[in-house]
Structure 1
Amino acid sequence: MNKPENNMSLTGDAPAAISTTQKIATAIGLVGLFIMVLSIANVEFPNKTLFLILSLGMITAGTVIFANDAYLGKHAGIKNDGVWFKSNTSRGFWAWIVGISLTLFYVILYWYPEYLGLREDGENTGIIALFDPLSRLISGHGASQWFVYGTLYTLAILIFGYKFILKYRHNKYEIYRTYSVMFFQLGFAFLIPEILMRFNQPYFNPANIWPLNYDFFAGYKMSEFFTAGNIGMMMFIFGIISIFVITPILTYKYGKRWYCSWVCGCGGLAETAGDPYRHLSDKSKFAWNVERWVIHSVLVFVVVMTIAVIYSYLMENPGGGWFTKDIFLWSSAGFLTLIFALIMIFKREQLAKDAKMGAIGYFAIIMSIIAINYFSGNYRIFFFDGHQLRAWYGFLIGAAFSGVIGVGFYPIFGNRVWCRFGCPMAAVLGMQQRLFSKFRITTNGGQCISCGNCSTYCEMGIDVRAYAQKGENIVRSSCVGCGICAAVCPRGVLKLENGSREDRINSEEVLLGNDVDLMTLVHQKSERTKD
Structure 2
Amino acid sequence: MKIIQSIGILLFLIGLAVFTAMPFLGNYTLTEELVLSSTKDIHQEKMAEVLAPMYGETYSSNFSFLSAYKVNFNEYNEALKAESKWDEVIWDDYSLPLAQTSLSSPVRDSPWLFFGLSIGLAVLGGLMYNLPKYRGEPEGIKNNGIFHSAMKNRGWMGMITGAYLILFYIILYWFPAYIVNQIWMVTPLSMLLSGNPASQWFLYGTIYTLAITVMGVRMFRKYRGNKYQQLRTASVMFFQTAFAFLIPEILVLLNQPYFDFKNIWPLDYDFFYDYQIDTFLSSGGVGMFMLIWGILLIVIGVPTFTYFFGKRWYCSWVCGCGGLAETLGDPYRQLSDKSVKAWKYERVIIHSVLVLAVVMTALTIVNYFSGFALLGNVTNQLHSIYGFAIGSVFAGVIGTGFYPFMGNRVWCRFGCPLAAYLGLVQRFKSRFRITTNGGQCISCGNCSTHCEMGIDVRWYAQRGQEIVRSSCVGCGVCSSVCPRGVLKLENGSTENRINEMPIIIGNDSIKINA
**Deviation at 1:79?**
2.8
- Relative distance call for 1:512 and 1:96 in structure 2 (3 A) is closer
Q: 1:189 aligns with which of 241, 244, 249?
A: 244
**Deviation at 1:514?**
4.8
Q: 2:390 is matched with which residue?
A: 397
Decide whether the 8 Å contact of 2:19 with 2:119 is kept in 1.
no
Residue correspondence of structure 1 range 336-375 to structure 2 within 5 A: none
Per-residue CA distance 1:51-98 (angstroms, 9 max, x = gap)? 313433322221122112321232211232211111111111111111
Q: 2:427 is matched with which residue?
A: 434
Q: 2:178 is matched with which residue?
A: 115
Q: 1:62 is matched with which residue?
A: 125
Q: 1:461 is matched with which residue?
A: 454
Q: 1:135, 1:507 → 2: CA distance? A: 56
Q: 1:487 is matched with which residue?
A: 480
Q: 1:379, 1:223 → 2: CA distance? A: 19
Q: 1:41, 1:298 → 2: CA distance? A: 39
- Residue 145 of structure 2 is aligned to residue 86 of structure 1: no
**Deviation at 1:22?**
2.3
- Relative distance call for 1:513 and 1:402 in structure 2 (3 A) is closer
Q: 1:460, 1:508 → 2: CA distance? A: 25
Residue correspondence of structure 1 range 369-518 to structure 2 within 5 A: 378-380=373-375, 384-512=377-505, 514=507
Q: 2:93 is matched with which residue?
A: none
Q: 1:138 is matched with which residue?
A: 193
Normalization by structure 1: what TM-score?
A: 0.79
Q: 2:127, 2:157 → 1: CA distance? A: 22
Per-residue CA distance 1:113-146 (angstroms, 9 max, x = gap)? 11111xxxxxxxx110001000000010000000
**Deviation at 1:457?**
1.1
User: Which amino acid in structure 1 is aligned with residue 403 of structure 2?
Assistant: Y
Q: 1:168, 1:486 → 2: CA distance? A: 13
Matched residue SS, 2:434: strand
Q: 1:442, 1:26 → 2: CA distance? A: 41
User: Which amino acid in structure 2 is aligned with residue 236 of structure 1?
Assistant: L
Decide whether the 8 Å contact of 1:473 with 1:507 is kept in 2.
no
**Deviation at 1:314?**
1.5
- Relative distance call for 1:84 and 1:512 in structure 2 (3 A) is closer
Q: 1:508, 1:312 → 2: CA distance? A: 51
Q: 1:75, 1:40 → 2: CA distance? A: 45
Q: 1:32 is matched with which residue?
A: 15
Q: 2:270 is matched with which residue?
A: 215
Q: 1:444, 1:110 → 2: CA distance? A: 47
Gaps of 5+ in 2: 27-105, 510-514
Q: 1:316 is matched with which residue?
A: 371
**Deviation at 1:40?**
2.5
- Measured on the aligned residues, the alpha-carbon RMSD in Å equals 1.6
User: Which amino acid in structure 2 is aligned with residue 51 of structure 1?
Assistant: F
- Relative distance call for 1:515 and 1:116 in structure 2 (3 A) is closer
Q: 1:406, 1:514 → 2: CA distance? A: 43
User: Which amino acid in structure 1 is aligned with residue 168 of structure 2?
Assistant: F
Number of residue pairs matched by the alignment: 429
Q: 2:202, 2:505 → 1: CA distance? A: 58
Matched residue SS, 1:81: coil
Matched residue SS, 1:70: coil
Q: 2:32 is matched with which residue?
A: none
Q: 2:252, 2:18 → 1: CA distance? A: 28
* Aligned-pair identity (%): 56
Per-residue CA distance 1:387-419 (angstroms, 9 max, x = gap)? 221111010001000110110010000000100
Q: 2:297 is matched with which residue?
A: 242
Q: 2:49 is matched with which residue?
A: none
Decide whether the 8 Å contact of 2:133 with 2:218 is kept in 1.
no
Q: 2:261 is matched with which residue?
A: 206
Q: 1:255 aligns with which of 302, 307, 310?
A: 310
Q: 1:299, 1:456 → 2: CA distance? A: 28
Q: 1:512, 1:167 → 2: CA distance? A: 36
Tell me which moved more, 69-78 or 155-164: 69-78
**Deviation at 1:509?**
4.4
Decide whether the 8 Å contact of 2:215 with 2:328 is kept in 1.
yes
Q: 1:303, 1:78 → 2: CA distance? A: 40
Per-residue CA distance 1:271-303 (angstroms, 9 max, x = gap)? 000000000000000000000000000000000
Decide whether the 8 Å contact of 1:262 with 1:268 is kept in 2.
yes
Decide whether the 8 Å contact of 2:464 with 2:502 is kept in 1.
no
Decide whether the 8 Å contact of 2:280 with 2:287 is kept in 1.
yes
Matched residue SS, 2:435: strand
Matched residue SS, 2:401: coil
Per-residue CA distance 1:401-459 (angstroms, 9 max, x = gap)? 01101100100000001000000000000000011100001112121110001001100
Decide whether the 8 Å contact of 2:432 with 2:492 is kept in 1.
yes
Normalization by structure 2: what TM-score?
A: 0.81
Q: 1:513, 1:405 → 2: CA distance? A: 42
**Deviation at 1:385?**
2.5
Q: 2:327, 2:403 → 1: CA distance? A: 12
User: Which amino acid in structure 2 is aligned with residue 141 of structure 1?
Assistant: N
Q: 1:40, 1:24 → 2: CA distance? A: 26
**Deviation at 1:471?**
1.2
User: Which amino acid in structure 2 is aligned with residue 506 of structure 1?
Assistant: N
Q: 1:80, 1:251 → 2: CA distance? A: 30
Q: 2:260, 2:321 → 1: CA distance? A: 13
Q: 1:64, 1:177 → 2: CA distance? A: 20
Gaps of 5+ in 1: 1-17, 118-125, 318-377, 517-531
**Deviation at 1:493?**
1.1
Matched residue SS, 1:407: helix
- Residue 37 of structure 2 is aligned to residue 42 of structure 1: no
**Deviation at 1:379?**
4.7
Decide whether the 8 Å contact of 2:316 with 2:323 is kept in 1.
yes
